[in-house]
Structure 1
Amino acid sequence: MALRNAVMAALLEGEASGYDLAKVFDASVANFWMTTPQQLYRELDRMEAEGLLQARVVQQQRRPNKRMFSLTDAGFRALHEFTATPPRPGVIREEFLIQVQALDVGDVDAVQNAIGERIEWARAKIARYERLRDRLLDGRSEDDYLAQAERVGPYLTLMRGLSFEQENVRWGEKALAVLARRAARTEAR
């Protein structure tokens, strides 16, 4: 159910092909919802069959034809109903954190390397999110943008993704510092 709502929310920006939606998911929606292109295309077909989306075929030269999707009235109603329903609380389910939980009896070096990789991954996402924020603001202050923009939802979710990744960096750096101090104490013995 959540993927379909994320698809409908992405289509609020306007008509898009499956390929365009996959890029949107990768570039902006990924800060709060992950999907594979295969899952996305299956969901688009289901949503079209259920009347939530309509598709039109665009003939292309030297490329396969593509389908452009847009929300139907039923899709807008479904999205409205979704926003009126209180969401379930979010939970973290991450295999990586199980490895961190068990590092005292596991391969500490491997877990430290994984934490370092997560920090670098988070920094890369922060840089990407900051470029997207700069594009959205287009020289305006955040206050001006939020007061004048037609839609603020994408900006608010971008800010949540940015703060999430910033916290991942803070946590990772602290975890590595803790592990380094513990290693130094062990070596001193």
Structure 2
Amino acid sequence: MKISGDLDLYAAQQEAARLAARAQVRDIRLLRSSIEMERFPGHSVHLRWSMDTDIEAERDENDGDAFVLRTKYTVKVNEVVTTVSSEEPRDLSASTEGSDDDEASLIADISFEFAALFTVERREDDSPVTDEELRAYSFTTGVFAMYPYAREYIYDTTGRVGLPPLTVGVLQLPVKRPVATA
């Protein structure tokens, strides 16, 4: 499931609140990794990256108080070649945003998948976790729990393949803005 731009984060947090108060991560594993380095980047070029995240929750059929979150990440690292009409030198490291004069070409494609085992510490009077709670938890607390592992993996992997180690920014989820009523 992709985290959609119309996610009502506030409603999802409320739906996930009970599970967020009772779930604990027990184990995190790297399930799959693929790195394709297309070529070496130029000596003094600017690199830009993009990342897609897909998260999925699976219940443990043998244990109703456990579930697994699987997060798949795809990172594309592009070389940005800037065409400058003037003779003045230009600082290519000043921005990660492209302009109309920029052309990007793929340098590396990194994809990987983590799985995290969570257990739920239910109280005597608790009802079982619903599918809606699990989905909301995945998009709120779960994705944030997995993100530091993804950031570290990306930093380490880009350095190991000879690229400048990539520091991925803080996770920001799209937030559906409430419509103001008159």
More strand by share: 2
- Give TM-score, length-normalised by structure 1: 0.24
The structure with the largest helix share of the pair is 1
